[in-house]
Amino acid sequence: MSQPAGIVEVITGSMFCGKTEELIRRLRRATIAKQKVQVFKPVIDDRYAYFKVKSHSGMDYEAVPVSSSTELLEKLDPLATVIGVDEAQFFDDGIIDVVNQLADSGLRVIVTGLDTDFRGEPFGCMPLITAKADKVDKLTAICIVCGEPATRTQRLVGGKPARYDEPIVVVGAAEMYEARCRHCHRVPRE
């Protein structure tokens, strides 16, 4: 008997483009199909609920918060056939091997994460996960300034664009981030 084929699906884009909402949609469909689903999220992402992934629009799904890719493997349910990994950009680089290992063992792995940081540069492990994925969906939001499709995440500090030298990882939501198109995205260097 042959081993079932695994797959890595990536859902990426800027903040507010619906990544987590799309993840939850896929997880709910897998649940309807009577597949065993397990979802992981980084401990650092405590914006809405600790034991759930939750979209900005309020959709949610039960999740296991973990502090590392190693802990994800330790908490993996051996009966799970569909694995969700939300906000992958916050995981250590070991998540790249973990995701591929899970898919190689026959699991469907659905990964979400920001493709770029607030500066518009590749974010953490996401470029490598995306490059090795079997399927990639890059979603867009709506630019808060001009209404065009947004592919960038604008961080605000005191209502103004964050400077280039600000810390990369600052967890937040609408109180400090906006979706912007390439034209309206600003990152002052001085």
Domains of the chain by range and CATH? Answer: 7-140 (3.40.50.300)
Give the Cα separation of 51 and 54 in Å (integer): 9
Residue 61 main-chain phi, psi, to 5 deg = -155, 140
Three-state secondary-structure class, residue 35: coil
Q: What is the largest CA-CA distance in the chain?
A: 62
Q: Distance (Å, rounded) from C-alpha 67 to C-alpha 61?
A: 19
Buried residues in 142-163 as b, exposed as e (16+ CB within 10 A): ebbbeeebbbbbbbbeeeebbe
Hey, which residues are catalytic here? 87
pLDDT tens, N- to C-terminus, the chain (190 residues): 556 689 999 999 999 999 999 999 999 999 999 999 999 999 987 766 778 888 877 788 899 999 999 999 999 999 999 999 999 999 999 999 999 999 999 999 999 999 999 999 999 999 999 999 999 999 999 999 999 999 999 999 999 999 999 988 887 666 799 999 999 999 998 6
pTM for the whole structure: 0.93
Reading the block at residue 188, the tokens are: 């002052």
User: What stretches of the chain show up as alpha helix (H) in DSSP?
Assistant: 19-32, 69-74, 94-104, 126-132
Residue type, 107: L
Question: Nearest CA to 126 among 118, 134, 116, 135?
Answer: 116
